[in-house]
Amino acid sequence: MEAFSLLMHGFVVLLTWKTLALMLVGLVLGIFVGVLPGLGGPNGVAILLPLTFSMDPTSAIVMLSCIYWGALFGGAITSILFNIPGEAWSVATTFDGYPMAQQGKAAEALTAAFTSSFIGSLFAVLLITFLAPSIASFALKFGPPEFFAVYMLTFCSFVGLGREAKHKTIISMAFGLLIAGIGMDTVSGTLRMTFGSNDLLRGVNFLVAVIGLFGISEILLTMEERLALRGHAARISLRVVWSVWRDLPKYWATLLRSSIIGSWLGITPGGAIAASFMGYNLAKRFSKDK
Amino acid sequence: MAKSDIEIIVEDPTAPEADSPPVTTTRVVEVASLLVLLALSVMLGFDNWRTGISWASDGPQAGYFPFYLSVILVAACLYGLGREVVKRTEPSDTFVTRAQLRRVMQVFVPTLLFVLGVEWLGLYVASFLLVAGFMWWIGRIALWKSLLTSFIFALLMFLTFQVAFDVIMPKGPLEAAFGF
């Protein structure tokens, strides 16, 4: 029960006007970022990170996680209304979401999307709260050999499970690790791969690498394509939200199944993309009306 | 009431034409990037070898781990190049057409100039020029609107980062003239 009281303590910390206001700001910013094509949760968090520089840690975490959640919901908006998934894991949302919008049921689809992602995240948070102590005590036993083994397994699964040509995956990983190795060696303090440059002493900043490799390349890729949009307007009213919420308990099995899949693939290196497709496929298989 | 029978249609008048002639094939780009990576990994591998790749009394020397990474990178690049040589008779996809390349360059060249501009003019002046230039030259928006919007944008960025949050960004002569 200690975990439960800690969870409640967390809610006490959160339920102040200041944090609630920060949540609102974070969610609105996140939805903006998520709706913009080519910018998703991680990019949004990276871009808006400077906003939190002068905040205390709790407010900063609240703000950043709200930006992330807002961006996820923003991704669902474009998937359902425009058939454009902002991120790879909202592709599964377009399969049924866009047809629903075409039938004039966009508001229902949006309500179902945000309610079910709320239920899924609540499930994951509860799971983490109650399992974290045992995971933490397990994690404390981890030493360098175990960490090496875990990373080895992860990198091998990238090579084995990735759909790209295997040598390209190996090139990307080796290149990334090499970039991370630039600068001062943390063990011996020797400089490596700096070629006498003072700017490279501290290595290559992770944010710089991520924004350069993903952000800018995504923008350039978008420019290559036709930017024409074809979408549907939607208006959400409380009545639609209520009617969807009345129907949702009927789908408790789908919600539970998808929550379990998501939590399991979140713990293992499978990740959100695999989980979203797996959840969709299982829901389709168990569904009575196909 | 849910009312979603209104359709929103946004056309893209400057979209690249579909029948534009191809500039290069995927194979050429792939071989070129493999060669660049190969040269880079040989260079980094040499530097790590110079730093020391053996095992000292207190553990691996600084170049030990990156050296073997460079070896892996060289091997993977050679494998990729060999694969392209074997498949050289098969036709390759178009990597980019001329119209697409023009559109990408319209964004890429100003971005590059922006990065150079940050060095000389500072972030705020450079982003003022970037936003104004984009709106006026590519977006074909009236000059005064472009200048006004980008001025407000740059000013807001300055107030957010410099004044409110004390985040140090690259600054140039203009900020120095105002005493920042």
Structure tokens at A163: 């759909």
Find, among B68, B69, B67, B83, the residue nearest to B34 by Cα. Answer: B83
- Kindly report the number of other CB atoms within 10 A of residue B155's CB atom: 12
The CA distance from A284 to the nearest CA of chain B, in Å, is 26
8-state DSSP, B171: B
Given this model, what pLDDT does residue A289 score? 60
CA torsion sign for A191, A194, A200, A204 is negative
The pLDDT value given to residue A38: 60
Choose the closest CB to B8 out of A104, A178, A233: A233
ipTM over 0.95: no
CA distance B80 to chain A (A): 7
Mean pLDDT score of chain A: 78
Annotated domain spans of chain A: 1-141
**The pLDDT of residue B4:** 44
Contact at CB, A187 and B4, closer than 8 angstroms: no
**Beta bridge mates, B96:** B24
| Residue ranges per structural domain of chain B | 22-95, 98-177
Residue with the larger pLDDT of the pair B89 and B73: B73
At B146-162, the pLDDT tens digits run 999 999 999 988 887 78
Diameter over CA atoms, chain A: 67
B80: nearest CB among A167, A191, A216:
A167
CA distances from A148 to A144, A145, A153 (A): 6, 5, 9
Distance separating alpha carbons of residues A174 and B71, to the nearest angstrom: 9
pLDDT of residue B67: 92
Is A187's CB within 8 Å of B62's CB? Answer: yes
To the nearest whole Å, the CA of A7 is away from the closest chain B CA by: 32
Q: How far apart are CA A91 and CA A106, in angstroms?
A: 16
CB of A216 less than 8 A from some CB of B? yes
Among A residues 48-77, those touching chain B with beta carbons less than 8 Å apart: 50-51, 53-54
Q: Are A51 and B51 within 8 A, CB to CB?
A: no
The span from the CA of A32 to the CA of A12, in Å, is: 29
pLDDT band at residue B132, thresholds of 50, 70 and 90?
A: very high
State residue B113's pLDDT score.
92
Is the CB of A104 inside 8 Å of chain B's CB atoms? yes
Contacts for A278 with CB less than 8 Å, ≥ 6 apart: A261, A265
Does A236 contact chain B (CB < 8 Å)? yes
Looking at chain B, which residue has its C-alpha nearest residue A104? B4
Encode pLDDT of A174-233 as tens digits. 998 888 888 888 777 788 888 888 878 888 877 677 777 776 777 787 777 766 666 677
The alpha-helical segments, DSSP class H, found in B87-142 are 98-121, 123-133
Residues in chain B with CB shorter than 8 Å from the CB of A105 are 2, 4
pLDDT at A266 over 80: no
Residue B1: pLDDT band with limits 50, 70, 90: very low
Going by C-alpha positions, the residue among B41, B107, B157 that lies closest to residue A177 is: B41
| Residues contacting residue A9 through CB under 8 Å, at least 6 positions apart | none
